[in-house]
Amino acid sequence: MTATDTVLQASNVTKEYPSTDPPTPGITGVDLQVAAREFLAVMGASGSGKSTLLQVISGMDHPTGGQVQISGHDLTALGDDQASRLRLTTIGFVFQQAYFLRNLSIRDNILLPALKATPRRKVQVLARVEALMARFGIADLADRAITEVSGGQLQRASICRALVCEPEIVFADEPTGSLNSQTTREVMDALTEVHADGTTLVLVTHDPTCAARAERVVYLRDGRLDAERTLGPWRPATARDREGELLSWLTGLGF
Amino acid sequence: MSNAGLAVRYVRSDLHTNPGAHLALTALLLLSAFLMATGAMVAERLVGSIDRLFEIAEPPDFLQMHRGDLDHAALDAFAAEHPEIEAWLIEEMLGFDGAAVGWQHAATGASGDLADSVMDNLFVTQNQEFDFLLDAEGAVPQPAPGQVYVPVAYQQSYDLAVGDRLTVRTDTGPHQLQVAGFVRDAQMASSMSSATRFLVSEQDFEDLEAAGGGAPEHILEYRLTDGASAGDLQRAYEADPDLPKNGQAVTIGMIRLLNALGDGLVAVALVLGSLVLVAVAVINLRFVVRGTLEDEVREIGALRAIGISHRQISALYLGKYATLTLLACAAGGALAVPATAGLTQAMQVNYAAAPAGAATVLVPVAALGLLGTLVLLLCRQALRRVGKAPVVGALVGGSMLSERQTARRARRGAARARRHRLAAYSGTRVNTFLARLDLRADLRQWALVPVVFALLSVLMILPMNLLSTFQSPRFGTAMGAPEADLLVDLQFSPDLEDTRTGLLADLERDDRVTEVSVLATELREVPGEDGWETLRVQVGDHHDAAVQYLHGRPPGPGQVALSVLNAQRYQLAVGDTLPVRPAGPVSSTDQASPAVVSGVYQDLTMGGYTAKLPGEPNPRAAGYAIYARVTEATDPADLAAEYADRYPTASVIQMAEYLDQTMSFVTSSFRVAAGLALAFALVVAALISALFLSLQLKRERQRMGVLFAVGFSRREIVTQMRTKALAAVAVGVLGGTVAAAAGGQHLVDGVLVAAGLGITELRLFPQAWLVYGVYPALLVGVGLGVSVLTTARIRSAQMSRWLRG
Ligand SMILES: Nc1ncnc2c1ncn2[C@@H]1O[C@H](COP(=O)(O)OP(=O)(O)OP(=O)(O)O)[C@@H](O)[C@H]1O
Ligand SMILES: [Mg+2]
């Protein structure tokens, strides 16, 4: 794997939360590489540091130590403006709770980052927003307020927003954490499509069924990378087998 | 452990773990308590001080000043005829020109004289019956030979102390006196009084009289069984042709009015000011209490989840806020004591220190009680809302809204989202769009800022406008004094006519003088309730004097203009007719000629009861006022000094100086009031915007987290917040300034009418660049500065945490 193929490169990353006494170690000495167009799942027990890892490698948070590079940019060295530009154009986020601006409609929430990135190309940007919403099945909800749609629909809107600036990498932290099994499948189908389109995807999840869609799974224990397993490309036909394989691996790790 | 015990421990630890919000809340409570108590105490002290001074000094209900001989028989007869006179006396006085009274500091050796004072300096002995001059302790001092008690006004302006020397220059050499103390004068305490009294021993008085150089004057003073009938006595007095009338006549009502105008106005302003600030504090408390409760709603949910009833929770929180309120009220009340002492110091110097009575304690305590009750009612209302919130909603969403409220809010949000569409936004500045949208959406919260800043603008601007009004030369013209550079006052001296002709000729010849006009003070008679009454009139050409008329215009032939007080006294309006005849025994009804009232003006000079008639000044007038204007290049002060030297019996002063000194009492009080209002407004603005913005920042955490995640920089998020703050502040300041500019006049008029001070109109002369330029800029600056400081923490915030709210 050459350097250009690597979208994300984290070396010896540590994050401590100084607000507690003694400081809580979030993650400790994590090394992680994510290749372009890869689909990586991060698993681990509750409190093992999954969210912390995701926040640090995605630029939402600064690490206490170590280095993070995304598309060749050293996150720890970027200024406020450059970092925000990177989040805007190169990175997409999907969170467990679908965080939206409550004063904007679904369409406007999706439109916002795109319009900010290219304010003078509104016509093209709007067309892309409509296309995305149509593709993820929420076109008829465009003018609704965020309080007027279901959790699964909101999460699909989140995916649209994450994709609207055509990012290189999308980070998702338990995007299905508060959804039922039916909507979980819909959202996972959507994310799988995103990956199939060539977007690099890092997914934090509790759910082995979701993780089974990934090409590679890493396992966190007490803030450290404990194990890793490569599953290869996902196909609906082999879904059951992969799940079983992943489950027995996880059971072996004490999950 | 019982549930209640657990809750107590929870609330106690909560005070420890959440000190910031509680500290801010306590600070705000403290400030309100402080203001409320100070306002109440100052008002109580002022009323008490004036009453106290009047009570121990026993000023006359009616007095008549007189220069010249007295007809003692007529005076005795008058007193005998009027049983309502309880006591009366003739006070002998010696008037000395300010330049004839020198002083020397014992401590520094510095010396000077009172030449720059426009007051008449009258030397008197202590009265035995009533109308006492009081020392600092409120006692009635009896100076020993060689001692003098100096008016408190001079103590302040010349920095005099006990032990300093006072030298009176008489015709036969200097007369030395030592300052033994300072006296307050109920009769002449007011700023509007043009005379002031020095207290000496009988022996010094006789020596001064014998030495010559002083102008003998008398005050005929009457105390009545019923002070309210002073007006009737005055009319009866003036109707009697044999009684001495060569000077000003004053009633107790006028004395009180003048006192009230000086210090009463300041007290009214102070009380109004503290009310505005308390209003600001209460508006803000509502916001803060709700804000902190919203913050704690999860904890409240947790308490309820473990089975503690809403009543118990309410009681606990009320207990917490009651404790904070009590502490704040106690501290605020304690701080108010020294503040009141400082504020009332000037007042206490001029009036007597009122003894502390029940009201001294009860008034501020009642004010604080009122504040405390208000705060607790607010808390209870807010807690009731929390009580209605579903436990699950509180625990999970941290929301204290009921399901119905949540649904309603959602509907409103939806309507808004459809109305303000980013997709339809034609501009390219996404940040501006978002800031505007938020302001509109959270209008209910943000409205606090403009409301508070508008109130504070008014609070800052109005006292300053009053101050600049009192300092404005145009104020003089609105109060009866013509616009001029130089004022020559010629009164009741034997060589009056020679002085007048000489002075006028000199002035006309002087090429530094551009315009000269003369008004003669003459006596006329007009029909009153009990027959003909004396009316003091100024005769001359009134057209070139820029006196402002409330109604109508200056008098032409066959016309008369009246001061407001005279118009009220004779119940006349513009267009009405008043028969006027010359004063004196020779006149009869036949000689009365009807004069049509051409105009009504406000007058604070000569006791307020004046009239203006057109015509040539009568050569046998009682006195003259000569007004002169000088060329650009001439300093009126120099000219005044020069003419004062040349004509020692004339009082020649610079008009600006005259107005300045006449109003100095009011202006110095208002300078303090305006300064205080400015300082308070700025401090309160800073405090409240800091409180508001930190709470609002908390509320908007999630929103800022979202913006950060989708690619907004910290700088942009900070800018959005500052833009909102600045817009809210600017709207408030603009609104307040416009309101003060447009409505301030009405407010002042309303307060004046309500206060019954006898001034019906006070046209404001604002210093526009200051109050409509610098002041708003200061307020906006404070708002901006605070928003910069409070939003600075966004730069280092952990956004992933904020995202979770
Ligand atoms: N802002 C914070 N301040 C202090 N400690 C924190 C903070 N965020 C997380 N932690 C702590 O860091 C550790 C890792 O937390 P993290 O949220 O990353 O775990 P997680 O694997 O995402 O857990 P979960 O599966 O419950 O989401 C935990 O011990 C947690 O308590
Ligand atoms: Mg997590």
* B395 has pLDDT over 80: no
Res B651: pLDDT: 73
Res A8: pLDDT: 93
A135 vs A20, residue with greater confidence:
A135
**DSSP secondary structure letters along chain A:** --GGGEEEEEEEEEEEETTSSSPEEEEEEEEEEEETT-EEEEEESTTSSHHHHHHHHHTSS--SEEEEEETTEEGGG--HHHHHHHHHHTEEEE-SS----TTSBHHHHHHHHHHHH-TT-HHHHHHHHHHHHHHTT-GGGTTSBGGGS-HHHHHHHHHHHHHTT--SEEEEESTTTTS-HHHHHHHHHHHHHHHHTT-EEEEE-S-HHHHTTSSEEEEEETTEEEEEEE--S--GGGHHHHHHHHHHHHHHHT-
Res A14: pLDDT: 94
Chain B residues within 8 A of A100 when measuring between CB atoms = 706
Helices B430-441 and A106-117 cross at an angle (nearest 10°) of: 150
Cβ pair B501, B567 in contact under 8 A: no
In sequence order, the 6+-apart residues with CB closer than 8 A to the CB of B135 are B141, B149, B181, B182, B183, B184
Mean pLDDT check: name the lowest of A160-164, B605-609, B645-649, B667-671.
B605-609
B627-639 pLDDT, tens digit each: 888 888 888 888 8
Rg of chain B (C-alpha set): 34
Residue with tokens 């015990």: B5
Q: Where are the alpha helices (DSSP H) in B297-392?
A: 297-305, 310-350, 358-388, 391-392
**Terminus-to-terminus CA distance in chain A, angstroms?**
30
Q: Which residues of B296-323 are buried (b: 16+ CB within 10 A; e: fewer)?
A: bbbbbbebbeeebebebbbebbeebbee
Res A85: pLDDT: 92
CA neighbor of B660 nearest in space, from B515, B492, B473: B473
Cβ pair B416, A103 in contact under 8 A: yes
Nearest to B441 among A103, A126, A146 (CB): A103
HSE of B420, CA atoms in CB hemisphere, 13 A: 19
> What span, in angstroms and rounded, lies between the C-alpha atoms of A130 and A123?
11
pLDDT band at B2 (very low <50, low <70, confident <90, very high): low
Res A127: pLDDT: 92
Burial of A91 (0-12, 13-18, 19+ CB in 10 A): buried
Stretch B421-450: mean pLDDT? 83
Cβ pair B458, B464 in contact under 8 A: no
**Terminus-to-terminus CA distance in chain B, angstroms?**
33
pLDDT band at B347 (very low <50, low <70, confident <90, very high): low
User: Which chain A residue lies closest to B414 (C-alpha atoms)?
Assistant: A145
> What span, in angstroms and rounded, lies between the C-alpha atoms of B377 and B380?
5
pLDDT band at B448 (very low <50, low <70, confident <90, very high): confident
Angle at A173 between CA A168 and CA A178, to 5 degrees: 135
A79 Cα–ligand 1 center, Å: 26
A223 CA: nearest ligand 1 atom: 14
Classify the C-alpha dihedral B206-B210-B211-B217 as positive or negative.
positive
Cis peptide leading into residue A22 (ω within 30°):
yes
Helix, strand, coil percentages (3-state) for chain B, rounded to 5, are 55, 20, 25
Helices B3-17 and B297-305 cross at an angle (nearest 10°) of: 160
Strand partners, A15: A27
For chain B, the domains span 1-59+266-388, 90-224, 493-648
Three-state secondary structure call for residue B612:
strand
> What span, in angstroms and rounded, lies between the C-alpha atoms of A42 and A34?
12
Inter-chain residue contact B422 with A95, CB threshold 8 Å: no
B230 vs A82, residue with greater confidence:
A82
Inter-chain residue contact A84 with B708, CB threshold 8 Å: yes
| DSSP conformation class of B553 | -
> What span, in angstroms and rounded, lies between the C-alpha atoms of B563 and B247?
18
Residue with tokens 């003088």: B513
Name the residue at shortest CA distance from atom 13 of ligand 1.
A26
Inter-chain residue contact A115 with B422, CB threshold 8 Å: yes
* A1 has pLDDT over 50: no
Residue with tokens 């009635």: B140
Cβ pair A133, A95 in contact under 8 A: no
| DSSP conformation class of B104 | E
CA neighbor of B709 nearest in space, from A37, A96, A151, A148: A96
> What span, in angstroms and rounded, lies between the C-alpha atoms of B764 and B466?
7
Q: What percent of chain B has pLDDT over 70?
A: 80
Residue with tokens 């908390």: B698
The pTM of the full predicted model, rounded to 2 decimals, is 0.74
Res A200: pLDDT: 95
A48 CA: nearest ligand 1 atom: 21
Among A27, A30, A48, say which to mutate for ligand 1: greatest number of ligand atoms within 8 Å of CB. A48
Q: Are strands B559-563 and B593-601 parallel, antiparallel or unpaired?
A: parallel
* B442 has pLDDT over 70: yes
In sequence order, the 6+-apart residues with CB closer than 8 A to the CB of B431 are B712, B716, B719, B720, B723
Res B472: pLDDT: 76
CA neighbor of A192 nearest in space, from A165, A173, A212: A212
* A3 has pLDDT over 50: no
> What span, in angstroms and rounded, lies between the C-alpha atoms of B19 and B698?
15
Res A195: pLDDT: 93
Res A84: pLDDT: 92
Classify the C-alpha dihedral B790-B795-B798-B799 as positive or negative.
positive
Cβ pair B247, B64 in contact under 8 A: yes
Residue B319 phi, psi dihedral angles, 5° rounding: -60, -45
Tokens representing residue B543 in the block? 């057209």
Three-state secondary structure call for residue B486:
strand
Domains and CATH numbers, chain A: 3-252 (3.40.50.300)
Res A219: pLDDT: 94
Res B666: pLDDT: 64
Rg of chain A (C-alpha set): 18
B692 vs B258, residue with greater confidence:
B692
Res B56: pLDDT: 77
B165-207 pLDDT, tens digit each: 999 988 888 999 999 998 887 766 544 456 788 999 999 999 9
Stretch A151-169: mean pLDDT? 91
Chain A residues within 8 A of B410 when measuring between CB atoms = 145, 147-148
Burial of A166 (0-12, 13-18, 19+ CB in 10 A): middle
Q: Are strands A24-35 and A6-17 parallel, antiparallel or unpaired?
A: antiparallel
> What span, in angstroms and rounded, lies between the C-alpha atoms of B320 and B336?
24
Nearest to B712 among A84, A107, A120 (CB): A84
Q: What percent of chain B has pLDDT over 90?
A: 13
A97 lines ligand 1 (CB under 6 A): no
Q: Which stretches does DSSP call E strand in B389-472?
A: none
CA neighbor of B656 nearest in space, from B617, B692, B677, B630: B630
CA neighbor of A110 nearest in space, from B411, B704, B423: B423
Which amino acid belongs to residue B326? L
B301 Cα–ligand 1 center, Å: 23
What is the overall mean pLDDT for chain A?
90
pLDDT band at A210 (very low <50, low <70, confident <90, very high): very high
Name the residue at shortest CA distance from atom 17 of ligand 1.
A51
B42-98 pLDDT, tens digit each: 777 777 776 777 777 788 888 887 877 888 888 899 988 888 888 898 988 888 877
Res A112: pLDDT: 92
Could you give the ipTM of this predicted complex? 0.94
Cβ pair B661, B562 in contact under 8 A: no
A222 lines ligand 1 (CB under 6 A): no
A17 CA: nearest ligand 1 atom: 4
B756 vs B640, residue with greater confidence:
B640
Res B192: pLDDT: 46
Stretch B648-672: mean pLDDT? 71
Cβ pair B749, B463 in contact under 8 A: no
Helices B714-755 and B448-471 cross at an angle (nearest 10°) of: 50
Nearest chain B CA: its distance from A253 CA (Å): 29
Residue B283: how many other CB atoms lie within 10 Å: 16
* B110 has pLDDT over 60: yes
A32 Cα–ligand 1 center, Å: 19
> What span, in angstroms and rounded, lies between the C-alpha atoms of B499 and B533?
30
Burial of A172 (0-12, 13-18, 19+ CB in 10 A): buried
B9-37 pLDDT, tens digit each: 666 666 665 566 667 677 777 877 887 78
Res B709: pLDDT: 92
Q: Best residue in A60, A94, A204 to probe B by mutation, most B CBs within 10 Å?
A: A60
Stretch B521-542: mean pLDDT? 79
Tokens representing residue B402 in the block? 């009921």
* B522 has pLDDT over 70: yes
Res B240: pLDDT: 78
Res B483: pLDDT: 75
Which amino acid belongs to residue B140? V
Res B534: pLDDT: 74
B316-to-B4, B6, B12, B285, B388 alpha-carbon distances in Å: 9, 11, 10, 19, 17
Cβ pair B113, B103 in contact under 8 A: yes
Mean pLDDT check: name the lowest of A49-53, B193-197, B690-694.
B193-197
